[in-house]
Chain A
Amino acid sequence: MKDTAIEKDTALEEMFARYQPDLGDSEKYMEALSKKLEAVEFVKQYQEVQVRRHRKIMALVFAMGVLTGALGIILTLLHPFWTLPPVNIPVLPAQNYLHLPNIGFLLAVCLTSLGFTGLVVQGVALRERG
């Protein structure tokens, strides 16, 4: 609906009224468009599935991260139990924190947790892809 406040110009209106370019067969055009939209729909659905998979994997990684972090915190709270030197080895108290076998043990626990997280995520990713 045109605005009545707009000034009318018959010459221009006539010029544009004559403008009826041949756009071809509408039915064929819509048929081709419909096929294109079908292809677009297929790609769209595939992408949605991929996004869902990635979200699932991310949630799993997050959960494993929380578990690993919790394990780390628990081990830290058990201090000085884990950092104490093996029984009957006389050491100075200040050296407790630098006791290499115990630090190595903590490091091993962290790396094992990380590796385990990685393996679980990889397993899930491969299963999802398969």
Chain B
Amino acid sequence: MKREQFIAYVSSEQESLRRFLLALCGGDRMEAEDIAQEAMIKAYLASDRFEERHKFATWLFKIAYNTFLDHKRSARNRETDLEAAAYLADEQRADNAFAYQDLYEAIGTLPIKEKSAILLFYVSGYSVKEISNITSCSQLAVKQQLSRGRDKLRQILKR
């Protein structure tokens, strides 16, 4: 795939992808942007292997989702209290996070798989089949994740 073609594809999907990642990162804009950039570069480097028959958006979301999981795994090892304090002290970041605080708090209570399934379904508008392709889970598992996630969110919203 040529760079111009790749940019054209990404251009139509980047907002949806960044919105999904921002919610997935609980409003941490910097982390979400880092993951989005990394995912897009990974996608660009792998674009030669991209098969046209698959939907580009699903493929891009799959890369972004895996990049997010990698970030979470590495962040678990390096995050310190000092970094957490620096994160909260960042005024702009705090503003961003508070804009949708309720949503981020509610979503933050869910395990990663349920959170991803819920966000892909409600924020990005993907079907169960597409979500199962993105998260590499079976369709049945995705339906269970959606059901459990919805129940938990309902309980939180009732409070």
Contacts and interface: CB of A to CB of B under 8 A. Distances in A.
Asked if chains A and B come from one complex, the reply is yes
Interface residues of A, number: 28
A1 B122 contact: no
Interface in A16-59: 16, 19-23, 26, 29-30, 33-34, 36-38, 40-41, 44
Q: What is the interface of chain B mostly: helix, strand, loop, or mixed?
A: helix
B141 interface: no
Q: What is the interface of chain A mostly: helix, strand, loop, or mixed?
A: helix
B157 A11 contact: yes
Given A15-B157, A21-B99, A30-B7, A37 B127 contact: no
B37 interface: yes
Nearest to B143: A6
Given A19-B103, A19-B123, A26-B15, A6 B41 contact: no
Query: Which interface class (under 10, 10 to 19, 20 to 34, 35 or more) fits B?
Result: 35 or more
A9 B106 CA distance: 15
A16 B16 CA distance: 13
B14 A30 contact: yes
Contact of A44 (B6, B37, B45): B45
Contacts of B45: 40, 44
A3 B99 contact: no
A2 interface: yes
A2 B41 contact: no
Interface stretch (B17-25, B63-71, B77-85, B108-116): B17-25
Nearest to A39: B41
Nearest to A26: B15
A23 B21 CA distance: 11
Nearest to B149: A12
B151 to A, nearest CB: 10
Interface in B99-134: 99-100, 102-103, 106, 121-123, 125-129
Given A15-B106, A40-B41, 11 more contacts: A3-B128, A6-B121, A13-B122, A15-B102, A26-B14, A26-B15, A30-B7, A34-B7, A37-B6, A37-B7, A37-B44
